[in-house]
């Protein structure tokens, strides 16, 4: 994976009020299915061999908690669909909370981590 995909304020969004990103751009932020599709294309252009999405929050992120839901089922499905159109590359999901794990499975990811 080149960067991990998250929504604004999600697990891979480390932005601060000043706009500084201490993660050095580890996150690919997308908030709608259309933005997700564009983000997938950007990641593929950057050489991604798989895409990891945030289906929940996590321990180290400043804006969410591990049980918070991340990308929606529709957004995750969009990632899976777009990758199917480009060689069928795998989709991994970061997921800690039950709702996010179920969203990842319903969205069709290859693995839940």
Q: Which residues touch 47 (CB under 8 Å, ≥6 apart)?
A: 2
Q: Which pTM does this prediction carry?
A: 0.90
Domain boundaries, given as residue ranges, for the chain: 4-112
pLDDT in tens, the chain (113 residues): 788 999 988 887 777 667 776 666 778 999 999 999 999 999 999 999 999 999 998 887 777 888 989 999 999 999 999 999 998 999 999 999 999 999 999 999 999 99
The C-alpha atoms of residue 56 and residue 96 are separated, in whole angstroms, by: 6
The C-alpha atoms of residue 23 and residue 11 are separated, in whole angstroms, by: 11
Taking alpha carbons only, the member of 12, 10, 6, 1 closest to residue 83 is 1
The C-alpha atoms of residue 91 and residue 105 are separated, in whole angstroms, by: 11
* Structural class in CATH, domain 4-112: alpha beta
Residue with token string 């990842």:
104
């Amino acid at each position: 994976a080149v960067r991990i995909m998250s929504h604004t304020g999600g697990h891979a969004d480390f932005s601060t009020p000043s706009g500084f990103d201490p993660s050095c751009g580890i996150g690919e932020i997308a908030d709608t299915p259309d933005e997700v599709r564009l983000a997938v294309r950007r990641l593929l252009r950057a050489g991604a061999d798989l895409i990891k999405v945030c289906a929940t929050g996590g321990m180290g992120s400043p804006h969410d908690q591990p049980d918070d839901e991340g990308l929606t089922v529709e957004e995750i499905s969009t990632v899976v669909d777009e990758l199917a159109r480009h060689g069928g590359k795998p989709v991994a999901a970061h997921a800690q909370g039950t709702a996010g794990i179920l969203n990842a499975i319903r969205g069709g990811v290859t693995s839940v981590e």
